[in-house]
Amino acid sequence: MAAAKLLKQLLSGIFLAIHYTSCIEYSFDVVIHIMRNVNYGWVLRLTMKSIVAMANRAYL
């Protein structure tokens, strides 16, 4: 189960990293772009967010 979650986090992280920008002014715009214009981008973002939240809870 943990390996599946780790694999899911790695894959979603790779797909999100494709759209990475280091410019502070455009970072929020990139998140909005991922959510609205990328096919199933909202799923990628929410998957990554939920897995990170679970990992933080497990760590604490």
Domain boundaries, the chain: 2-59
Query: Is residue 16 within 8 Å of 48, Cβ to Cβ?
Result: yes
What gap in Å lies between CA 8 and CA 48, rounded to an integer?
Answer: 8
pTM of the model as a whole: 0.60
Q: Can you state the angle between helices 2-17 and 41-59, rounded to 10 degrees? A: 130
Give the model confidence (pLDDT) of 1-60 as tens digits: 778 878 888 888 888 888 888 888 888 898 888 888 988 888 888 888 888 888 788 877
| DSSP character string of 10-56 | HHHHHHHHTT----HHHHHHHHHHHHHTSTTHHHHHHHHHHHHHHHH
